[in-house]
Amino acid sequence: MRIGELSRLTGVSVRSLRYYEEQGLLQPTRRPSGYREYEKDDADTVRGIRLMLAAGLSTTTIREMLPCMIDDGERLLPGCGGMLPDLFRERERLSAAAEELLAARDRLDALIGDTARFDVEPEAAAQV
What pLDDT is attached to residue 127? 61
Is the predicted pLDDT of residue 125 greater than 80, yes or no?
A: no
Architecture of domain 1-81: Orthogonal Bundle (1.10)
pLDDT per residue as tens digits for the range 93-121: 999 999 999 999 999 999 999 998 887 66
Look up residue 74 and give its DSSP letter: S
**Angstrom distance (rounded) from CA 22 to CA 81:** 27
Query: C-alpha distances in angstroms, 19 versus 14, 25, 94, 114?
Result: 9, 9, 22, 43
Domain residue spans in the chain?
1-81, 83-128
pLDDT per residue as tens digits for the range 6-65: 999 999 999 999 999 999 999 999 999 989 999 999 999 999 999 999 999 999 999 999
pTM of the model: 0.74
